[in-house]
Amino acid sequence: MAAVQETIDQVRQIDVDQYKYGFETEIEVEKAPKGLSEEIIRFISAKKQEPDWMLEWRLDAYRRWLTMEEPGWARVDYPRIDFNDIYYYAAPKTTSGPKSLDEVDPELLKVYEKLGIPLKEQEILAGVDKPRVAVDAVFDSVSVVTTFKKELAKAGVIFMSISEAVREHPELVKKYLGSVVPTTDNYYATLNSAVFTDGSFVYVPKGVRCPMELSTYFRINEKNTGQFERTLIIADEGAYVSYLEGCTAPQRDENQLHAAVVELVALDDAEIKYSTVQNWYPGDKQGKGGIYNFVTKRGDCRGDRSKISWTQVETGSAITWKYPSCILRGDDSRGEFYSIAVSNGHQQIDSGTKMIHLGKNTSSRIISKGIAAGVSQNTYRGQVSAHRKATNARNFTQCDSLLIGDRCGAHTVPYIEAKNSSAQFEHEATTSKISEDQLFYCLQRGIPEEAAIALIVNGFVKEVIQELPMEFAVEAQKLIGISLEGSVG
């Protein structure tokens, strides 16, 4: 028991203070006054030079939101949020919208460099034969810069901030915004619809395979600022796109709210691969501070033979409330959910997915790997359902939990519902601990405890790591190691 005991002791002294991205940047900002009202929403809309229909859409959502109650069913515990104590709009002063890299505040570029996103290099690399990534960077409330825009435009791909898209492609935005996650969907999604500030917009036209990975980095910098980004991705018939989002925030004593909405639409034969590496600040070792991550992500396999795949690596946030889901509407459509959720310290994760089978011969696959350390709570909550008309719906679910120490918890809450008797749903769940034997074996081979834990954990999550775009797989593995760093030595 001794080595495990030591591990446990060290988990107790977790040092999430090692949070690598916890710096703050001094940048002049422009903020709306604290609190939420129709006036604030009008202010945001005006700042973004939005057309009237967009403003009305927001106001409708806001009025709806006023009638709603914060949900309480998730296995997470936190003091009530005062929604009037939050800034709903903060923008770096020097940028009123996306510009070319040369015009971006060098301070901002430095931030992204620190985060390991060499924006400048990305463009330089453009000429080089190497996997390339187009990046949209969202700083607090606004999108700062979108790289590779011209090249993408050549392929017909639209990749820009959602605010820009509202102005430049209103017909597309009008048609699809809120069509997957309606403004009435849930408390946080409705709030987001009222106040969303920025996010990414992607449209891949018929038959186009997006020539590069698209990526967005979100960063919350300002104090007491909520981040409400909105992302909308549409893959038209036969199109393919792979999209990655990364998230970080500075260390703060107060909790910060992040309530995003992501909508994906895949038409006939289209495929969308959406990957997330989420590393919002998790709070300190006493559980103080950290991001509340209340996110609604949903993909609509609207067309026949369409496919949507979610891959997430969740290591940050004080509280995570997140269920990237797929509506399998088209016949022969397919949904996938691959998840790694690491909780340490006082983190609370309630995450999972929904696979809603509506069309015929639809299939879905769920692989969830939860790792709990410290005094964290890690819950997988998943729903798989087959509609009456969904003949031959198939699902395979595998939920594995790994516990480090004995003060954390892992929970699996599956909801399974088949209204069509031809449905075939399989569910497997395991819970294990890093065994004393495994740890000693690694140590005996000269692998120190911390590296041994990282090695064993990375083995445990391998099936999911394989689903990440290659450039990010290594990063994700390192991140998992860092997130568990406090859990030993």
Partner 1 sequence: MLEIKNLHARIAEDGTEIIRGLNLTVKAGEVAAIMGPNGSGKSTLSYILSGREDYEVTEGEILYNGENILELDPAERAAKGIFLAFQYPVEIPGVATMQFLKVAMNEQRKARGEAELTTPDFMRRVKEAAAELKINPDMLKRPLNVGFSGGEKKRAEILQMALLEPKLCVLDETDSGLDIDALKIVADGVNALKSPDRATIVITHYQRLLDYIVPDTVHVLYKGQIIRTGDKSLALELEANGYADIIGEAA
Residue 461 contacts partner 1 per CB under 8 A: yes
Residue 63 contacts partner 1 per CB under 8 A: no
43 versus 440: smaller Cβ distance to partner 1? 440
Identify the H or E element spanning 431.
Answer: strand 424-433
Residue 71 contacts partner 1 per CB under 8 A: no
Q: What CA–CA distance (Å, rounded) separates 435 from 4?
A: 8
Residue 55 contacts partner 1 per CB under 8 A: no
Q: Are β-strands 290-301 and 255-258 bridged in parallel, bridged antiparallel, or unpaired?
A: parallel
CB of 11 to partner 1, least distance (A): 17
59 versus 443: smaller Cβ distance to partner 1? 443
Identify the H or E element spanning 437.
Answer: helix 436-444
Q: Are β-strands 230-235 and 200-204 bridged in parallel, bridged antiparallel, or unpaired?
A: parallel
Give the one residue of 9, 96, 459, 478 binding partner 1; rule: CB under 8 A: 459
Binding residue count for partner 1, defined by CB under 8 A: 27
Give the one residue of 463, 469, 471, 482 binding partner 1; rule: CB under 8 A: 463
Q: What is the footprint of partner 1 within residues 5-24 (CB under 8 A)?
A: 6
* Alpha-helical regions (H) of 105-211: 106-114, 119-125, 149-155, 162-168, 170-176, 187-195
Residue 448 contacts partner 1 per CB under 8 A: yes
Q: What CA–CA distance (Å, rounded) separates 473 from 418?
A: 35
CB of 476 to partner 1, least distance (A): 14
Token output for 169 = 């492609």
Give the one residue of 80, 130, 154, 445 binding partner 1; rule: CB under 8 A: 445
388 versus 478: smaller Cβ distance to partner 1? 478
Interacting span for partner 1 (CB under 8 A) from 32-40, 179-187, 418-426, 445-453: 445-453
Strand ranges in 307-408 using DSSP code E only, listed in sequence order: 307-314, 319-322, 325-328, 334-343, 348-357, 363-372, 377-386, 394-403
Closest by CA to 363, choosing from 391, 324, 321, 399, is 391
Interacting span for partner 1 (CB under 8 A) from 325-333, 341-349, 356-364, 439-447: 439-447
CB of 446 to partner 1, least distance (A): 4
The full DSSP string for 240-266 is EEEEEEEEE----SSEEEE--EEEEEE
Dihedral-angle region of residue 323 (phi above 0 means left; psi in -120 to 50 means alpha; beta otherwise) = beta
67 versus 444: smaller Cβ distance to partner 1? 444
Q: What CA–CA distance (Å, rounded) separates 259 from 296?
A: 8
Helix axes 2-12 and 449-460, enclosed angle (nearest 10): 90
Contacts of residue 396, defined as CB under 8 A and 6 or more positions apart, other chains included, come to 364, 365, 366, 426
Interacting span for partner 1 (CB under 8 A) from 103-111, 139-147, 453-461, 475-483: 453-461
CB of 450 to partner 1, least distance (A): 10
Residue 458 contacts partner 1 per CB under 8 A: yes
Q: What CA–CA distance (Å, rounded) separates 326 from 21?
A: 31
Token output for 352 = 């999972």
CB of 381 to partner 1, least distance (A): 24
Q: What CA–CA distance (Å, rounded) separates 454 from 157?
A: 39
27 versus 457: smaller Cβ distance to partner 1? 457
Give the one residue of 203, 281, 460, 472 binding partner 1; rule: CB under 8 A: 460
Give the one residue of 456, 480, 484, 488 binding partner 1; rule: CB under 8 A: 456
Site string for partner 1, 377-416 (x = CB under 8 A): ----------------------------------------
66 versus 474: smaller Cβ distance to partner 1? 474
Give the one residue of 206, 438, 471, 482 binding partner 1; rule: CB under 8 A: 438
Site string for partner 1, 102-121 (x = CB under 8 A): --------------------
- The residues that touch partner 1, with contacts defined as CB under 8 A, are 1-3, 6, 435-438, 440-449, 451, 455-456, 458-463
